[in-house]
Copies of this chain bind each other. A is one copy, B any other.
């Protein structure tokens, strides 16, 4: 299921999930993102690496924020970008998903950046695309959000260097979070010392034990001595019925406040994939405080997406060095 993201020679072709990828590949993504990182602070934030490539943002679920990061990343690589909101177009004419895909392929598109509210949608699409097309998963249902996970890893590496020494706590709605799933896989692959999840039982997946994480239901114990705290967005729109107490109760028990932050190491960093629900999963004083690296995550998101896009399209880093 996951091997199809790599070519026979082990190069990244699609980027669908962290699952099954090896540490050297994740490290390569971060190393290349490091190169692109400097471009975004240059006077001319653009390299001609993907000039003449056509990248299609194929969003079956609306997410202006995520689409914008991919659009900016693609344009900084000089690609042409086509934004398609599928719910409002082809399918209203009754065309099947695969027909839409095959039409876009026939127009010589090079890459589909796919966002979908069903788990497995990006893999399904990758299984059916033509050989010249790469698929990037920009979030599918509760399944995976691998570029988000990699920008988180990149942010951690920028601050903490050596993964095996680190203790990372992920707090909140693990059950519905594609972000958490991808983060846990990336952290495990990179050999992080300890991974903890802190959540009420109702927001933990059934397979929690098999993920190799330590489960906590209490912030004081869970945050004790951690280096990294990753807070998650309460995906209110993905929850059903009354499995959750009110946002106010959630904040009381699991919201990251300055007081609870004291349980972690003094130099712990605080992360969140955004968009933030202030006063629900995190207090404003923490989100905007000195230990927060939330906006750095956004910045690194551009560089990481440039890295993944350029790797999947098979361009060599030497190429752009020569061209710039």
A68 touches B275 (CB 8 A): no
Stretch at the interface among A25-33, A45-53, A180-188, A253-261: A45-53
| A69 to B64 CA separation, bound complex (whole angstroms) | 22
Residues of B within 8 A of A107 (CB): 68-69, 72, 298-299, 301-302
A207 contacts chain B at the CB level, 8 A cutoff: no
| With contact pairs A65-B90, A75-B80, A106-B299 given, residues A42 and B46 touching in the complex (Cβ less than 8 Å) | no
Residues of B within 8 A of A82 (CB): 68, 71-72
A209 contacts chain B at the CB level, 8 A cutoff: no
In this complex, what residue of B is CB-closest to A104? B68
| A275 to B100 CA separation, bound complex (whole angstroms) | 8
| With contact pairs A46-B52, A54-B45 given, residues A103 and B298 touching in the complex (Cβ less than 8 Å) | yes
Residues of B within 8 A of A106 (CB): 295-296, 298-299
A316 contacts chain B at the CB level, 8 A cutoff: no
| A42 to B94 CA separation, bound complex (whole angstroms) | 33
| A295 to B99 CA separation, bound complex (whole angstroms) | 9
| Shortest distance from the beta carbon of A142 to any chain B beta carbon, whole Å | 17
Residues of B within 8 A of A103 (CB): 65, 274-275, 295, 298
Q: Which of B53, B64, B84, B278 contacts A45 (CB 8 A)?
A: B53
Q: How many chain A residues have a CB neighbour from B under 8 Å?
A: 51
Residues of B within 8 A of A90 (CB): 64-65, 275
| Shortest distance from the beta carbon of A237 to any chain B beta carbon, whole Å | 8
| A105 to B295 CA separation, bound complex (whole angstroms) | 9
A45 touches B94 (CB 8 A): no
A44 touches B40 (CB 8 A): no
A238 contacts chain B at the CB level, 8 A cutoff: no
Residues of B within 8 A of A76 (CB): 52, 54, 80
Sorted nearest first, the 9 A-B pairs with minimum C-beta distance are: A64-B89, A44-B52, A106-B298, A95-B275, A46-B52, A75-B80, A106-B295, A45-B52, A40-B108
Besides A40-B108, A45-B108, 20 new A-B residue pairs in contact (Cβ under 8 A), listed by A number: A42-B52, A43-B52, A46-B51, A46-B52, A54-B72, A62-B89, A64-B84, A64-B89, A69-B107, A93-B275, A95-B274, A95-B276, A99-B275, A99-B276, A99-B278, A103-B274, A103-B275, A103-B295, A106-B296, A107-B302
List A residues at the B interface (Cβ < 8 Å).
Answer: 40-46, 51-54, 62, 64-65, 68-69, 71-72, 75-76, 80, 82, 84, 88-90, 93-96, 99-100, 102-109, 274-278, 295-296, 298-299, 301-302
